[in-house]
């Protein structure tokens, strides 16, 4: 099944009682399998992501292979090690070989070479295509750099994101240059792979926040709960970016959903106002061009 495009429109069933919206009907079901580390887990595939789908009356059947701290090359080479219990679909080899998916996501990471990450993504792609998943949409989940600020909120996200990248060096941080390299490598191999650009969304959030255009925020450093992981606001952005990209739904058309709540364990979590939610949805829509 090729890239699923769901466009929410007003149905022409209007009466004195009002109009029925498309999201008031079941839009269908979708099967997604996620492969990555705790960055992939941060978009909350087992909880928050499903709540977004529920708000659109869309049913998600999903599975995951999560190995904390590992890059995609390491995951490929150690296919039965995880830090999160796998679902009934099993580790990635069995999950892909024995099931048909609408979308599979792959998440690269640091502590290896960019070339190895690119080549391993190609290996995953060929492996996927050798199964019954010949038309499955494959996505690379492009996440965010580690927060090196003395205080999380002080982190210069834009500086880290736009730092120079050399494919021969050991990758120490995620950046626009690294993901551009991956995209170029994929295109040169003529592979049908798309990209979920949450790191880029956070970069534009940082720029707009510094310019005073994001109410209540001064920069993307305020989206973190620790050096590598996001707080509830960052998770909201990651989940909605993943959902919107994979399903092809404009974030502005996604109903309000109860997901990514504040946790007492993380001081940087916060409750978002309706105005902030609106600005974030518009930002995601603008950057991802859904």
Domain residues of the chain, as ranges? 10-288
pLDDT in tens, 219-265: 999 999 999 999 999 999 999 999 999 999 999 999 889 999 999 99
- Cβ–Cβ under 8 Å, residues 8 and 249: yes
The domain over range 10-288 is classified in CATH as 3.40.50.1110: yes
Q: CA-CA-CA-CA torsion for 160, 120, 91, 241, nearest 10 degrees?
A: 40
Q: Helices 114-129 and 176-188 sit at what angle, rounded to 10 degrees?
A: 40
pLDDT at 27: 59
Which residue positions in the chain have pLDDT lower than 50?
A: 1-3, 5-26
The DSSP result for 103-132, as a single string, is: EEEE---SSSBHHHHHHHHHHHHHHHHTTT
Longest dimension (CA), the chain: 66
Q: How many whole angstroms separate alpha carbon 121 and alpha carbon 105? A: 10
Q: How many whole angstroms separate alpha carbon 201 and alpha carbon 241? A: 8
Cβ contacts of 212 within 8 Å, gap of 6 or more:
none
- Cβ–Cβ under 8 Å, residues 62 and 31: yes
CA 274 to each of CA 7, 160, 271: distance values in angstroms, whole numbers, following the listed order? 23, 30, 10
Q: CA-CA-CA-CA torsion for 54, 58, 64, 68, nearest 10 degrees?
A: -40
Q: Is the pTM of this model over 0.85?
A: yes
CA 103 to each of CA 3, 118, 198, 265: distance values in angstroms, whole numbers, following the listed order? 8, 19, 17, 33
157, burial (CB in 10 Å: exposed 0-12, middle 13-18, buried 19+): buried
């Amino acid at each position: 099944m090729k890239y699923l495009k769901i466009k929410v429109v007003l149905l022409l069933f209007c009466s004195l009682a009002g109009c029925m919206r498309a999201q008031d009907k079941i839009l269908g079901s979708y099967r997604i399998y996620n492969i990555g580390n705790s960055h992939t887990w941060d978009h909350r595939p087992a909880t928050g992501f499903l709540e977004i789908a529920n708000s659109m009356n869309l049913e998600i059947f999903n599975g995951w292979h999560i190995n904390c701290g590992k890059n995609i090359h390491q995951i490929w080479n150690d296919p039965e090690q995880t830090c999160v219990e796998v679902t009934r679909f099993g580790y990635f080899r069995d999950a892909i070989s024995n099931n048909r998916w609408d979308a599979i996501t792959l998440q690269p990471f640091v502590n290896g070479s960019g070339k190895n990450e690119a080549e391993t993504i190609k290996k995953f792609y060929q492996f996927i295509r050798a199964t019954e998943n010949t038309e499955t949409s494959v996505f690379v989940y492009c996440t965010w750099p580690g927060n090196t600020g003395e205080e999380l909120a002080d982190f210069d996200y834009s500086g880290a994101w736009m730092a120079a990248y050399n494919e021969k060096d050991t990758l120490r941080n995620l950046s626009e240059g690294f993901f551009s390299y991956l995209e170029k490598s994929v295109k040169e191999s003529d592979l049908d792979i798309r990209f979920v650009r949450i790191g880029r969304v956070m970069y534009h959030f940082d720029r707009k926040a510094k310019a005073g255009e994001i109410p209540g925020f001064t920069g993307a450093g305020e989206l973190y709960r620790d050096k590598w992981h996001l707080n509830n606001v960052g998770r909201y952005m990651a989940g909605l970016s993943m959902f919107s990209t994979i399903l092809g739904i404009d974030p502005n058309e996604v109903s309000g959903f109860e997901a990514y709540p504040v946790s007492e364990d993380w001081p940087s979590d916060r409750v978002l106002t309706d105005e902030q939610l609106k600005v974030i949805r518009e930002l995601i829509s603008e950057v991802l061009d859904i």
